[in-house]
Structure 1
Amino acid sequence: MKKFYSLLSVLTLAVLMCSCVSTKKIVYFQGADSLYTQAQQVLQQYEMKLKPADQILVKVTCSEPDLLSVFAQDVVMGTSGGGRATSSSYLSSGASGGMSNAYGYTITNDGYVVLPSIGKVHVAGLTTVDAAKTIEEKIKEVNHISDPGVTVNLLNARVAVLGAVKSPRVVSLTSERNTVLDVLSQCGDIADTGLRQKIKLFREVEGQRMMYEMDLTKSDVFESPGYYVQQNDLIYVEPNKSQSIKSSAFYTFWTAGATIISTLATVTSMIFLIKNN
């Protein structure tokens, strides 16, 4: 009987060990309290650059509304910050000759957008600010508008998150400065069974797929090229070994067997006590 109880204790301990997670494996930014006692300069460039297949919305403003009629009929009157009367218009995405849809213009594979009354403008590889400046110069050249103001917004910036997070999903980016932590927080954070030491980020760079691996338990994660995310990134959180074991058929069989053995041991003990009494 003693041997039987010893075996049962070993089985129970093994099951419990499979479900334990060390605190050191889930605490973020370990060592940051000593490393960042003084202000640290942010060295990474976090501005997203436009890529083929991105969708952009283009807004044009100027002081004379009649000049905007060549772009679209949706003209809005207003005033600038200095009180000067201005007009604005979103470039019509229904104009012929432009690769567009109801949500904006899609950048072609060779990096261009075709805008009404302006023509082809190369914007791939530029930030939204630089793309706006490029379109402004094109408007001055083609349409002879002396004071155009252009705003470019990226419409379909998204990041996919898979693996051991609480809510895997595709996250829409609401600004051009988003970190891997921002994205993971929108997924409910990493699950306790996820490896915070092995966060993999996949990114397309000039036609090639790059992979950056980050350790969120280390304070130097801020220096990683993958810390600031870009549109179309893929983030994968690897599960730890205990999660892999729990997902296996062997673990299911093991836990079921341990439960049965524990139940039998309880029943046997009760029978043994009854007989002795």
Structure 2
Amino acid sequence: MKTNFSPINLNKTKSYVLKFSFLLVVALQMTSCGSAKKSSYFNEVGNNTFASYYEPLEPILQKNDLLSINITSLNAEVTEMFNIANNVGGIQTPGYLIDQDGFIRFPVLGKIAVAGLTKKELREYIREELISKRLLMEPIVDIRFMNFKVSVLGEVNQPAVFTIPNEKVTLLEALGMAGDMTIYAQRNNVLLISEEDGIKSTKRIDLTSDELFTSPNYYLKPNDIVYVQPNDRKVRNTSNATQWFSVILGSLSLAVISIASF
């Protein structure tokens, strides 16, 4: 049985299929396209100045922190004995590990309770002890973190744990080390997880406004975790609905090609 197609009907069919395909593509694009504003940083920032919050927020020493403590004085021979790393559980470490009770074992001075102190407070304590016990004259005490690290996870290009040698890193620098956020990141809802004295705290940060510059969270603390959440576009792109859109669109494209060829 032979079927005859009228040129007019054929053209109408092709026109309807093409129009429907076009509308479907537009709908798909609208559901997948994110707002340009939501994809950039600090949309509301103009000319301004912001005070630094770094100095008042010197990190508190905690259990499992690894410290480098270096002593210098005019008497180099005597000073050398204070620059030997402590022995923890029979293992020689390259620094002073704060144990689970909050102590370090320092040469001559013995056990020192350090958890809860700042580096400045510990520096002054060791200095005063060395002077009061007549062990050294005018000693200089330098203390540094050896395990200052932050983690950046989620919708970034290179999620990882980063060690910070200079003990000072901003949230923006940490994101830069992680290769910046992906296009699927929620820039207005970045989660910061911190821990101090065994207590975890969370903070939501909007990087599309200037709130970060006036926040104490501008500079990260040791062991901070930055989690960048996926936006709705990422969720949609991984949903079954989007997969079905692709199937339907592919089928319609095949139909158009077939009609055109016919």
User: Normalising to structure 2: TM-score of the pair?
Assistant: 0.85
Residue 13 of structure 1: aligned partner:
26
Secondary structure of the 1:32 match is coil
Secondary structure of the 1:109 match is coil
Matched residues in 1 for 2:219 and 2:77: separation?
A: 42
Residue 39 of structure 2: aligned partner:
26
Q: Which of residues 200, 209, 215 in structure 1 aligns to 2:191?
A: 200
Higher relative contact order (CA 8 A, sep 6+): 2
Secondary structure of the 2:218 match is coil
Query: Is residue 66 of structure 1 aligned with residue 103 of structure 2?
Result: no
Residue 103 of structure 1: aligned partner:
94
Q: Which of residues 207, 210, 213 in structure 2 aligns to 1:216?
A: 207
Structure 1 segments of 4 or more deviating over 4 A? 97-101
Between 51-60 and 107-116, the greater mean CA deviation after superposition: 107-116
Structure 1 vs Structure 2 CA RMSD: 2.3
- Give structure 1 stretches of 5+ with no counterpart: 72-89, 272-277
Q: Structure 1, residues 63-119: CA drift from partner, whole Å, max 9, x if none? A: 113323543xxxxxxxxxxxxxxxxxx32334xx77864331211233221112221
Matched residues in 1 for 2:91 and 2:187: separation?
A: 41
Counterpart of 2:120, as a letter, is V
> Structure 1 residues 179, 47: closer, same or farther in 2, change over 3 A?
same
Counterpart of 1:42, as a letter, is S
Query: Is residue 247 of structure 1 aligned with residue 247 of structure 2?
Result: no
Matched residues in 2 for 1:57 and 1:144: separation?
A: 20
Q: Which of residues 13, 17, 36 in structure 2 aligns to 1:4?
A: 17
Secondary structure of the 1:236 match is strand
Q: Which of residues 126, 135, 141 in structure 2 aligns to 1:144?
A: 135
Q: Which of residues 86, 91, 106 in structure 1 aligns to 2:84?
A: 91
Q: Which of residues 108, 111, 119 in structure 2 aligns to 1:117?
A: 108
Residue 50 of structure 2: aligned partner:
40
User: Normalising to structure 1: TM-score of the pair?
Assistant: 0.80
- Give structure 2 stretches of 5+ with no counterpart: 1-12
Counterpart of 2:45, as a letter, is A
Residue 57 of structure 1: aligned partner:
68
Q: Structure 1, residues 168-227: CA drift from partner, whole Å, max 9, x if none? A: 111212323311101001011111110100011011133221101100110122122322
The offset of 1:142, in angstroms, is 4.2
Query: Is residue 127 of structure 1 aligned with residue 137 of structure 2?
Result: no
Between 140-149 and 51-60, the greater mean CA deviation after superposition: 140-149
The offset of 1:46, in angstroms, is 4.1
Counterpart of 2:77, as a letter, is D
The offset of 1:133, in angstroms, is 1.9
